[in-house]
């Protein structure tokens, strides 16, 4: 296998909710907001529509350190919030809306999304969820696949830290990430299988295309995948994070995870051959319980308290974090999340105090804007 001398560049995509400040419900105003976006000519920040008209997506420029990530996210949120304010709308970052009903939403009128509706029907209509995707640069597809085989064992802690969708249709679902449960109903969603080689990956992909199961690999909606259009590894397991701090934290952990897995690949370090069934259970527990109960330690095939597993992950990633001078920032953000709770915990606390889903939306909107 050839070596790779990449710098582990980073890029972040965030999906935001568009909020009507009078009703605090989702507002199908993406076209109006996008027409008001003002971006300087010097930026490569992208702002674009998504499947639902009540959401917009940003994609940061390629970033080389976490300071650049933070600055890009700050600019992105400022840009969207300002564009939304021009049409009297707010912006919120969470994996689900606390009470919006999918029956009241509108699908974006693009050929891609209309084809998805035709194929997936009810699943597409109920797709009122919002995620965060992190791309790490890796142009060698064989190396990217082998990194994915290792990194897939650490996706559940990332989901637990970012879980930010406890409510659905006014119900407290009992899940920290109910977005995960809505998303997993799609046939190619969820954690990826172990794939031994790029040849095996290409063979699987061709089988899916030949059987008209997918059009191309962009329709492989795995929680981590080789990007179809970019020379990157794409992590897709996370809910949209409420705060910039949380997205920076997750991005730093992911870059360190890719770097660590690459270094262990070069050293031919062994790792457990975890079957997909156990991996799915690990993700389910992270979505269900977040940071509140035992999660699955896949290396030792047992359950451990969530905080212990998060600290094991930090120890695993510490050399990589220190090599990029990001240990103090990322570990401090992780410890703050363990102390204050993930987004789901904080949303529930507001509801417990106010008994109001509207108050939860107000809280999310304020947290989304914090730091901008």
Confidence of residue 4 (pLDDT cuts 50, 70, 90): low
pLDDT at 146: 97
In angstroms, rounded to a whole number, what is the distance separating the alpha carbons of residues 178 and 164? 8
Bridge partners, residue 354, by sequence: none
pLDDT at 218 over 90: no
Q: Dump pLDDT digits (tens) for 166-214.
A: 999 999 999 999 999 999 999 999 999 999 999 999 999 999 999 999 8
Looking at the chain, how many residues does it have?
Answer: 372
pLDDT at 43: 85
The H or E element containing residue 238 is strand 232-239
Q: Dump pLDDT digits (tens) for 26-66.
A: 999 999 999 999 887 778 899 999 999 999 999 999 999 99
- DSSP assignments along 150-197, one per residue: HHGGGHHHHHHHH--B-EETTEE-S-SBHHHHHHTTSTT-BSPPP---
pLDDT at 42: 76
Residue 115 domain flag: yes
- Please choose, from the candidates 179, 39, 29, 38, the residue with its C-alpha nearest in 3D space to the C-alpha of residue 91: 29
CATH number, domain at 327?
3.30.590.20
Q: Dump pLDDT digits (tens) for 91-142.
A: 999 999 999 999 999 999 888 888 888 989 999 999 999 999 999 999 899 9
In angstroms, the Cα distances linking 292 to 55, 159, 305, 371 are 30, 13, 8, 27
Residue 2 domain flag: no
- What average pLDDT does range 219-230 have in this prediction? 92
Look at the chain and report how many structural domains it folds into: 1
Residue 281 domain flag: yes
The 3-state DSSP class for residue 296 equals: strand
Task: State both tokens at 90.
Answer: 């707010």
Residue 5 domain flag: no
Task: State both tokens at 294.
Answer: 């035992």
pLDDT at 111: 87
Confidence of residue 6 (pLDDT cuts 50, 70, 90): low
Task: State both tokens at 228.
Answer: 């179809």
Residue 140 domain flag: yes
Q: Dump pLDDT digits (tens) for 251-297.
A: 999 999 999 999 999 999 999 989 999 999 999 999 999 999 999 99
Contacts of 110 (CB under 8 A, 6+ apart): 49
Q: Which domain holds residue 251?
A: 10-369
- DSSP assignments along 120-132, one per residue: HTHHHHT----EE
Residue 266 domain flag: yes
Task: State both tokens at 55.
Answer: 């959401």
Confidence of residue 1 (pLDDT cuts 50, 70, 90): very low
Residue 4 domain flag: no
In angstroms, rounded to a whole number, what is the distance separating the alpha carbons of residues 155 and 285? 12
In angstroms, rounded to a whole number, what is the distance separating the alpha carbons of residues 70 and 88? 26
Helices 66-85 and 357-369 pack at an angle, to 10 degrees, of 120
Residue 1 domain flag: no
Asked whether 342 and 162 are in contact (CB, 8 A), the reply is yes
Q: Dump pLDDT digits (tens) for 311-346.
A: 999 999 999 999 999 999 999 999 999 999 999 999
């Amino acid at each position: 296998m050839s070596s790779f001398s990449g710098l582990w560049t980073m890029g972040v995509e965030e999906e935001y909710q568009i909020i009507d400040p009078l009703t605090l419900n989702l507002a199908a105003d993406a076209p109006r907001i996008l027409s008001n976006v003002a971006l300087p000519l010097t930026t490569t920040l992208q702002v674009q529509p998504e499947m639902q008209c009540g959401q917009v997506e940003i994609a940061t420029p390629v970033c080389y350190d976490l300071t650049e990530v933070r600055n890009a996210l700050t600019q992105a949120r400022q840009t969207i919030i300002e564009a939304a304010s021009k049409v009297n709308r707010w912006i919120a970052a969470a994996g689900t809306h606390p009470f919006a009903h999918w029956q009241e939403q509108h699908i974006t009128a693009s050929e891609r999304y209309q084809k998805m509706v035709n194929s997936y029907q009810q699943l597409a209509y109920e797709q009122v969820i919002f995620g965060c995707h992190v791309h790490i640069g890796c142009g060698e597809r064989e190396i990217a696949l082998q990194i994915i085989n290792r990194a897939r064992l650490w996706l559940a802690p990332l989901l637990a830290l970012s879980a930010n969708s406890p409510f659905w249709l006014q119900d407290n679902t009992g899940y920290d990430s109910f977005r995960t449960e809505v998303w997993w109903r799609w046939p190619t969603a969820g954690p990826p299988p172990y794939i031994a080689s790029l040849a095996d990956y290409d063979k699987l992909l061709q089988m899916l295309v030949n059987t008209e199961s997918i059009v191309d690999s962009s329709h492989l909606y795995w929680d981590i995948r080789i990007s179809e259009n970019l020379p990157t590894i794409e992590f897709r397991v996370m809910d949209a994070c409420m705060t910039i701090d949380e997205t920076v934290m997750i991005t730093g952990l992911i870059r360190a995870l890719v770097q660590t897995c690459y270094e262990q690949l070069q050293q031919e370090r062994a790792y457990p051959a975890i079957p997909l069934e156990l991996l799915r259970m690990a993700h389910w527990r992270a979505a269900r319980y977040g940071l509140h109960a035992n999660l699955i330690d896949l290396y030792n095939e047992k359950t451990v308290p969530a905080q212990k597993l998060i600290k094991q992950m930090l120890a695993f990633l510490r050399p990589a974090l220190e090599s990029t001078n990001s240990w103090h920032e990322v570990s401090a953000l992780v410890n703050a999340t363990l102390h204050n709770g993930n987004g789901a915990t904080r949303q529930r606390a507001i509801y417990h105090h106010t008994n109001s889903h509207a108050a939860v939306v107000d809280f999310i909107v304020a947290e989304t804007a914090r730091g901008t």
